[in-house]
Homo-oligomer: A and B are copies of this chain.
C-alpha cells in the first residue's frame, strides 16, 4: 500500500522533526545538530527518499541543466559533446539533449521553442551546416544561447574552430617549403567545414599572389579522394595537395602511388582532422587537427558565464594545430 513517492514530509514525520529541518539537512547540513542530522539521514535511508527535482527547481527558479541541440551527430561532434559533458560535470550542470532526426526539417527557432519547454538554464546549438533561419533567428531573451558554428551570428554568442585559419596554416606550410601552388580537394558541397577550409586555402594563395587552381570536388570518403588523386597525378605542376579531410587525403595518396608517383618525393599532401593514424599503421600524413573537445568546453563555459546576462554576445575562435609527419617535402632542401 505504498504511496507512490516519498516526500520530505514523510521523512520529517519518520524522523520526528519538521519539514524544514529535513530541507536543512540536505542544503545546509552544518546548521543542524549532529544527532538530529543522523536521525534524518536514517529516516531518508529507511524510506528511500529522493529529492523531487521539479519541486526543487520550481522553488529555486533554476534547473542546473544546460540544453544541447544536435543538428547532426557524428565524428568530431563526439569529442565536442565529450568536452561539453565534462565541462558541465565540472561546474555541476547536467545536460538536456534534443536531436534533429534524419529527414526532419528543424529550424533554429523551432529548436529553441522545443528546448525552452525543457528544464534548461541556457542552451548550446551545434550547427554544422547552413540553416534557413540562421540570420533571422533570435534567441529567447531570458535563456542564454550559444551556437557552435563557423558563421558569425548577429545576436547570439558563437564558438567555432578556426577552420579557415587551419587551412591557411597548411597552405603556408607548403608555400614556406618552396611549393609554388597548392591543389585542393573539397568535402561535400553543403558542408560549412568544407566551405571554410576552401576559403582559407583560397585566401592563403591569393595573399601570396597565386591564382588558386580549380578545386576538386570530393564527398569526404576515400573513394572520392582516390578519384581526385587520379586527376591530380596527370597535372605536372601539382606538387602539393590539401585535402579537406584525412580519408580523402589517403585516397589521394593511394591514387598517386598507383600512378607511380611518390608521396612526398613527387607530391606532398596534407589532410584535416588527424585521424588516419588510427587506421593506417605508420601513417605519414601531416594533418590539421582541430581541438573539438576544447570547442565543447568553451561553449559550455560561455553559456554558464552568460547565465546572468543572456543577451551578452561573444565570438570565440579555437585555433587548429598542424600535426607534422612526413608527407610534405621541403623543396628548398
A interface, CB within 8 angstroms of B: 4-5, 48, 50-58, 61, 63, 65, 68, 70, 73-74, 77-78, 81-82, 85-86, 89-90, 94-99, 101-102, 116-119, 140-142, 221-223, 225-226, 246-247, 250-251, 254-255, 276-282
CA distance A56 to B58 in the complex (A): 9
Residues of B within 8 A of A52 (CB): 58
CA distance A208 to B68 in the complex (A): 51
* Main SS at interface, chain A: mixed
Residue of B nearest to A116 (CB): B50
Chain B proximity of A115: nearest CB distance (Å): 9
Q: Is the CB of A223 within 8 A of B281?
A: yes
Q: Is the CB of B101 within 8 A of A86?
A: yes
Residue of B nearest to A72 (CB): B82
Residues of B within 8 A of A141 (CB): 48
Residues of B within 8 A of A68 (CB): 97
- 20 A-B Cβ contacts within 8 A? A50-B116, A53-B63, A54-B55, A54-B58, A58-B58, A68-B97, A73-B85, A85-B99, A86-B99, A89-B99, A90-B101, A94-B97, A94-B118, A95-B96, A96-B96, A119-B119, A221-B278, A225-B281, A247-B279, A250-B279
Please judge, given known A-B contacts A50-B116, A281-B250, whether A73 and B78 are in contact too, CB under 8 Å. yes
Q: Is the CB of B97 within 8 A of A95?
A: yes
